[in-house]
Amino acid sequence: MVVAITKSSLLLLGALWLAVPVQAVQAQESAPASQKIVLPRTRTNALLEVGIKCLKESKYEKALECFQASLKHDPGNAYAYYFSAICYRELGDKERALSYLRLTASRFPSEEVGKLARTTLSEVSRLTAANQAAIVWPGTGSLPRETWVPFRRQGSGMYVEGSVDGHACSLLVDTGAELCFLPLKILKRLGLSAPTGKPNSLLYGVGGADALPAWVFKGRLKVGSIEKSNFPIMVADVGVNTAILGQQFFEGYVYRIDTAGNAIVLARKEQPANSAASKAPVAAASMVVDKSGRYVYQVPFKRSGRSFIVAVQVNGRTLDFVFDTGAEVSLINATMAKQLGLSVQQVSGAVMSGVVGSTPVGVSQVDLKLGPIERSAMPVAITDAVQSGTCLLGRDFLGDWHFEIDESQGLIKFTRY
């Protein structure tokens, strides 16, 4: 049996994705001979054949079931491991995809797919290092010890006034985005020179199934009294008209986002602040009373990269969600929705928009709970256009609750007026 393959994959970077190659099976049998896997008859079985057929038809969940079942009967089948990696990649589960590639490479070093897996992993490491180098900020600029930045409300979004290379620009504060982002049209409107040459990265996120070419633009980004020189900003030619202030800009600072005072309060990390910077974070949700006599509900978060991860109850089951102030609506990945047994309705005209475009979504009604906030039968978007297992807690969940993100204590503090 001959299976055609091409290189195409993405490495998740929070709400933005950078491209790195992972071998992916495609339906076209016209791929070059050098890109074809010849499946030995001794390695073929009925489950594997059905799985490959499903893989070519883009039925990745069914294909994965077949490959996993094949491994139970034949745990030494390198091809079942390799094709499982491809399925996990196509389902958006980068960690499992890489894990299965490593298993294929280490257990079957002399087999064809073992060599392919090893080559792929080597390329992943090389490009990951190159991409990381491209988005590193050298640490230069004007960095006050303490400062605060006001923000304004526009809809349910939080916008700050800043500048790029001295040109005024409004930016959406997005706790779900690791990097900062400028649409190409805004870059041109600011009078800045558009990047030249071929894009040196790819952009991927909610709103599109395919990656978009992107550049890493190095500029002087200023927000409030914080100015970072030679700072990496992702730039892509997209339809949206919103600049995004991601978490990388806040690196080097502990900060609080105070939605009651409409301000972001920052202090440099090396400062031994009187604050609770040195205190151990609260391990479980709790409630305290502040000086004004208001109840303050404290919910712990953990970090994944630069994202804030909170434990949310979905129909009584606890799941990790990205606390995403850049998302209008809350979202659950389609694979996770299936595991939860959610009933999903396909609603005409229901779409979710992101940096890279819009994508149709299903809708499910679920009960959500985080700390003091409970929502019953709340509509959430269901889509496979995000990484497997990814859930986003958007602004629709918060309603009239104010929140303060205290990065130094690892807490999100909720109050209601």
210-213 long-range CB contacts below 8 Å, 24 or more apart? Answer: 210/356, 211/10, 211/17, 211/19, 211/356, 212/236, 212/237, 212/238, 212/356, 213/237
Among 69, 103, 134, the domain-final residue is 134
Cα gap 173→325, rounded to integer Å = 7
Eight-class DSSP state of 251: T
- Are 113 and 104 within 8 A, CB to CB? yes
Range of the structural domain that residue 177 is part of: 141-258
At a CB cut-off of 8 Å and minimum separation 6, what does 395 contact? Answer: 156, 157, 325, 327, 328, 329
DSSP output for 295-334:
EEEEEE-EEETTEEEEEEEETTEEEEEEE-TT-SS-EEEH
DSSP β-bridge partners for residue 299: 412
Per-residue confidence (pLDDT) for residue 159, from 0 to 100: 94
Together in a domain, 235 and 319: no
Strand order in the sheet with 2-7: 23-25, 2-7, 36-38
Among 202, 227, 258, the domain-final residue is 258
Together in a domain, 111 and 172: no
Cα gap 83→264, rounded to integer Å = 47
Cα gap 390→328, rounded to integer Å = 16
Total domains in the chain come to: 3
Query: Token digits for 174?
Result: 């997005």
The continuous run of DSSP H or E covering 382 comes out as strand 373-383
This prediction's pTM? 0.64
Among 258, 288, 313, the domain-final residue is 258
DSSP β-bridge partners for residue 19: 10
Together in a domain, 409 and 291: yes
Per-residue confidence (pLDDT) for residue 132, from 0 to 100: 66
Query: Token digits for 78?
Result: 């390198």
Cα gap 387→14, rounded to integer Å = 10
Together in a domain, 96 and 168: no
Residue 267 lies in a domain: no
Cα gap 110→410, rounded to integer Å = 47
Cα gap 52→29, rounded to integer Å = 13
Residue 265 lies in a domain: no
Q: Taking Cα atoms as reference points, which of 112, 126, 116 lies closest to residue 11?
A: 126
Together in a domain, 181 and 282: no
Residue 124 lies in a domain: yes
Distances (CA, A) of 365 to 227, 376, 404: 43, 8, 27
Together in a domain, 172 and 295: no
Cα gap 391→89, rounded to integer Å = 17
Cα gap 246→231, rounded to integer Å = 12
Per-residue pLDDT of the chain (417 residues; tens, 9 = 90+): 434 333 222 222 222 222 322 233 332 233 333 345 667 777 788 999 999 999 888 888 899 999 999 999 899 999 999 999 999 888 777 788 889 999 999 999 999 899 999 988 887 777 666 666 667 787 788 999 999 999 998 877 889 999 999 999 999 998 878 889 999 999 999 999 988 888 877 665 554 445 677 888 999 999 999 999 999 999 988 878 899 998 889 888 888 888 888 999 888 876 444 444 334 444 567 777 776 777 889 999 998 777 889 999 999 999 999 998 878 889 998 888 988 999 998 876 666 655 545 567 889 999 999 999 999 999 999 887 666 567 899 888 988 888 888 877 889 999 886
Count how many residues are written for the chain. 417
Together in a domain, 232 and 194: yes
Cα gap 66→49, rounded to integer Å = 9
Residue 26 lies in a domain: yes
Which residue, chain included where needed, has tokens 């339809």? 239
Residue 269 lies in a domain: no
Cα gap 172→161, rounded to integer Å = 9
Give the CATH number for residue 50.
1.25.40.10
At a CB cut-off of 8 Å and minimum separation 6, what does 126 contact? Answer: none
At a CB cut-off of 8 Å and minimum separation 6, what does 270 contact? Answer: none
The continuous run of DSSP H or E covering 293 comes out as none
Residue 401 lies in a domain: yes
Cα gap 397→59, rounded to integer Å = 32
Together in a domain, 290 and 410: yes
Cα gap 203→180, rounded to integer Å = 12
Give the CATH number for residue 211.
2.40.70.10
Together in a domain, 128 and 145: no
Q: Taking Cα atoms as reference points, which of 180, 157, 183 lies closest to residue 239?
A: 183
Residue 207 lies in a domain: yes
At a CB cut-off of 8 Å and minimum separation 6, what does 137 contact? Answer: 228, 230, 231, 232, 248, 251
Residue 338 lies in a domain: yes
Together in a domain, 11 and 117: yes
Together in a domain, 170 and 70: no
Together in a domain, 109 and 7: yes
Torsion over CA: 410, 258, 245, 267 (sign): negative
